[in-house]
Amino acid sequence: MGLGYASTRASSRRTRYPPQPVMPRTKRQKWASNLGLERVLEPSVRDAVHGPSDHRGQWHANVFGNAHPITLELGCGKGEYTVELARRHPERNFIGVDIKGHRYWHGAHAAAQAGLTNAAFLRAKIEFIENHLAPGEAHEIWLPFSDPQPGDERGTKRLTGAPFLERYRRLLGSGGIVHVKTDSRFLHEQTLLSAAACGVQVTHEIEDLYASSGTDCEPALKEWLAIQTRYEERWLGRGCTISYLQLKL
């Protein structure tokens, strides 16, 4: 059902992180550095696993100080999508979520240096995301280049597996949007199967993001898809095909 999208590598943009004054070299140094940032939340193991955490249901009031819609980047890695989307859309709030704080250290400090008060980061496992956000508190989800988990036959680890799609539906509510960008044909196909099994509508499908025409793609989506992470740039350089799916829960 492909949807067109035209872009060239020359016109694509990714987050350019400003130089850091002091570059922590170890994981422990980065963890310690994160503690000084206002919008980095790293709950205790008890809260993370058993919940609910103190910030559940309080993101608008206590973290962002506004009622703007919230978008999640799950498995955010360095947080490049979170930072760039926050930079482009001050009228929205963005939360990058990853279990490894030394990864999102890059994005968290870039957001702080840029004064992006609409970007936050949360250290959490995605399977426990409902411990950290109340139903309806977030409005959409981005899954850029998540692990395809080829050995996960039941889809319990794959972030687009049926158990996760049901989790997202409870979190976002019926009609919530999930964006899936991947270099894995396996993940693309498994996502379609999971969506069908869960009664999730596939509203956009682009099988080759950089070889499509773009005639049917709304401007905002074109802009978001043009954001490139370092991971994406590396695999594009090796000739990999990037695909995109938009799911309506």
Q: Which are the catalytic amino acids?
A: 147
The residues, any chain, with a CB within 8 Å of residue 17's CB and separated by 6 or more, are 83, 106, 109, 110
- Distance between CA atoms of residues 62 and 48, nearest Å: 18
- Distance between CA atoms of residues 98 and 167, nearest Å: 17
DSSP bridge pairs for 35:
none
Best CA proximity match to 56, nearest among 110, 95, 100: 95
DSSP bridge pairs for 94:
71, 119
Query: Is the backbone of residue 199 left (phi > 0), alpha (psi -120 to 50) or beta?
Result: left
CB 180 within 8 A of CB 242: no
